Structure formats: structure tokens, C-alpha cells
Amino acid sequence: MLRLVTGLKQDVIPLQKSMIKLLSLADLISIVNAVFGFLAVLFLFSDAVIPLKDTRIHVSFSFILLALLADGLDGIVARWRGSSRLGEYLESMADMSSLCIAPAVFIYFVYSPVMGCCLYRYVYLLIALILFLFFGVVRLASFHIMKQEKFFIGLPASASAIMLLVMSYFMVEFIYILPAVVIIGAVMISDIRFPKPSVRMNIVAALLIFLAILIGKNFYGFAPGLLFIMVLLYAVFGPFYVKFLVKN
């Protein structure tokens, strides 16, 4: 037994024989989430494996969306099979890989040709992405401390990642992506309350994510476009919905 003494109080914590035994099934899915985020970054720069840049962008885009699905699945499995003491820490670390670092690198890679002509564009984008990472780290580190039962405080990192990911996937104008990165990042750590999506809404989002992965920009890009519109409506009208519930 490992005994930790704090003042007059003694906390007895059993010494585990292996760190692996601390993991639950939900934790393994969280690790898959982190791996998807890593692969999303890796394939962007794997030009020897995938020569076409557009293909690498779609593969990276798909891995980030798969990470989002894994992020939702680990919560479902945790409620079904139970979670471990590592769960809340492991989930935040995995989300850091897939919902903050991977989208930031994705945006940087997509807009890198635009930055070649002007140094100031490179500086602006770098500052915006650093701010986004700062907001993301604060958001994920404080999520479990400020967790509420019926609503989120601040825009969920998953919603932020989807909006920025789809905007950069369709390569919206550079002057629009810069303020979007900063504003969406800032709303993540705001005091604005957002409702927790219903099961039906999560199912629709998951179907759109699968379609976005399968067909990408084909058929006028309707799948990622609908996904973006759905999340945008949630971000805009969600706080009003929470206020309506509070009043009633």
C-alpha cells in the first residue's frame, strides 16, 4: 500500500501493478480519438505516400471527423460500462490532440499557399492559431471543473472544431478565416451557456459526419455544408434556447 500523508489525514491509495489496468473501454476509445488527431496531422505532410495535396487534405479532414465520432462514443461507453479514474483526464488530453492541435495544423496547411506572398499574412495566421490553441487548452483543462448537468459553459470544443474545419476545407477567403479562428476560440472560454444536444441531434450530426467523410466535396459538398449549418445554428441560437428554459 502507498500511504500519502496530508497534515493529520491519511489517504490510502492501492498501488497498481500496471498502468494499463487503470484503463477502461471508454479510455481506450479516448486514446483512439488522440491517435486519429495525430494521423490527421501526419497525413497532411505525407506527400511521399499521397502525392496529391487535395487528397491529403481530405484524408486529414476525415481523420479529424473520425476523432469527433470517437469523442462522442467514449462518453456513451463510459455511461454504459463505467469510467475509470483516468477517464476525465484522458479525455481532455485526447481532445487536445484531435480538437485543438489537429484543426490548427489543418488550417495552417490549407492556407500555407496564401501566406507565401506576404509575410504579414503568415504573422496574422500564426497569432490567430496560437490564440486558438490557448483558448482550447483553457477550455479542455477547465471542462470537468465547470461541468454542468444540462448545459455547457462556453462553446464546446467539438462544435468549434467542426466550424473551423469545414470553413478551411472549403477554403473560405483568408480575411474571413482569421477572425473566425479568434472569435470561435474566444467563445469556447466565454460564460455563454449552450444546451447539451439531444440524442436525435447527435445521431443527425453523426450521419452527416459519415457522409462528409465518404463524399467530401462531391455533390456540391452538401454533407459538410449541412454539418456546418447545423453547428452554426446551434452556436447562434443555442444560448437563446438555454435562456428560454431558464425563464420557464
Confidence (pLDDT) at 24: 77
The per-residue pLDDT for range 32-87, each reduced to its tens digit, is 999 999 999 999 999 888 999 999 999 999 999 999 999 988 888 877 776 667 76
Only one residue has cell 483512439, namely 32
pTM: 0.88
Number of DSSP helices (H) and strands (E) in the chain, helices first: 10, 4
Q: For residue 51, give the 3-state DSSP assignment.
A: coil
Q: What's the pLDDT score for residue 121?
A: 86
How high is the pLDDT of residue 72?
87
Mean pLDDT throughout 145-154?
Answer: 83
The more confidently predicted of residues 14 and 122 is 122
Q: Which backbone phi and psi does 151 adopt, to 5 degrees?
A: -155, 165
Binning pLDDT at 50, 70 and 90, where does residue 22 land? confident
Residues with Cβ within 8 Å of residue 157, at least 6 apart in sequence: 95, 99, 100, 136, 139, 140, 143, 188
d(Cα 159, Cα 229) in Å, to the nearest integer? 11
Q: Place 246 in a pLDDT band, splitting at 50, 70 and 90.
A: low
Q: Answer whether residue 17 shows pLDDT above 60.
A: no
Mean pLDDT calculated for residue range 235-246: 86
Q: Give the type of residue at 76.
A: I
For helices 102-110 and 25-44, the axis angle rounded to 10 degrees is 20
Q: Any idea which of 130-134, 140-144, 165-169, 234-238 has the lowest mean pLDDT?
A: 140-144
Q: Hey, which CATH number is domain 25-247, 1.10.10, 1.20.120, 2.60.40, 3.40.50?
A: 1.20.120
Listed in sequence order, the DSSP H helices in 82-190 are 87-95, 102-110, 112-115, 119-142, 157-169, 174-188
For the segment 4-20, the average pLDDT, to the nearest whole number, is: 51
- The alpha carbon of residue 92 and the mean position of all alpha carbons in its chain are separated, in whole angstroms, by 10
Span 107-122, pLDDT tens digits: 999 998 877 677 888 8
Residue 165 has pLDDT above 90, yes or no: yes
Q: Contact at 8 Å (CB) between 3 and 62?
A: no
pLDDT, position 84: 66
- Report the residue count for the chain: 248
Q: What is the pLDDT of residue 83?
A: 67
Domain ranges of the chain: 25-247
Residue 6: strand pairing partners: 9
Q: Rounded to an integer, what distance in angstroms lies between the CA atom of residue 102 and that of residue 34?
A: 10
pLDDT at 64: 97
Q: Rounded distance, CA 140 to CA 136, Å?
A: 6
